[in-house]
Amino acid sequence: MPVFLKPVKWFSLLLLLLVSNSANSAGFTIIKAKTHLLEDVYLLNATFNYQLSEATIDALKNGVALTLVLNIIIERERSYLWDQTIAKLQQKYELKYSALSKQYILKYKNTGIQETFPSLNEILHRINQLKDFPLIDKYLIKKNETYMISLQIELDIESLPIPLRPIAYLSSQWRLSSDWYLCPLQP
């Protein structure tokens, strides 16, 4: 075999390893969600489960910041037409590890607020609960109409460093997202 073909074999092997499914239980889940009305604003309470893969944990420990995104869509149900989208919201969390301080850093990207934690489990426990997240003003909601909230959480691959993105797109260890979860908008 000519020498110049050997790198192609190694690349194929690497690609095969990246695309193969891992045996771990990595993934994101939305356990429950509920809305309530408080002082003319609909608020969301939700519980999540974030299980990072070995690849994402290793990258985090080696200085790669991970961005987790909570996608929220508010829709008005209609009988004869497609549901009408009333609002789309995103809550973004950035997770980082500081090797110097040996602390994990949680940054709320929507507000810029940062918190530090001594362990990855503590940071994940912190973002497992969403309490009283403002969704929409009650005056934007029509009476006698049905509204649904769709929720999904995902790892934002586009926020990764450019050299890591191709690997992340090809590896199941990096494609972490929940199924869509539906919950009614109710007072």
Instruction: DSSP for 149-186, please give it.
Output: EEEEEEE-GGGS-GGGHHHHHH-TTT--BPPPEEEE--
Q: Which helix (H) or strand (E) holds 115?
A: strand 114-117
**53-75 mean pLDDT:** 95
Confidence of residue 78 (pLDDT cuts 50, 70, 90): confident
Q: Where are the domains of the chain?
A: 23-51+71-91+121-184
**Residue 56, amino acid:** T
Q: Where are the beta strands (DSSP E) in 52-112?
A: 66-76, 84-98, 103-108
pLDDT digits (tens, 9 = 90+) for 98-118: 999 999 999 999 999 999 999
Using CA of residue 168, residue 172, residue 173, residue 175, what is the dihedral sign?
Answer: positive
Between 32 and 12, name the one with better pLDDT.
32
Residue 79 confidence (pLDDT)? 83
pLDDT digits (tens, 9 = 90+) for 133-187: 999 999 999 888 999 999 999 999 999 999 999 999 999 999 999 999 999 998 6
Options 3.40.190, 1.20.120, 3.30.70, 2.60.40; CATH of 23-51+71-91+121-184? 2.60.40
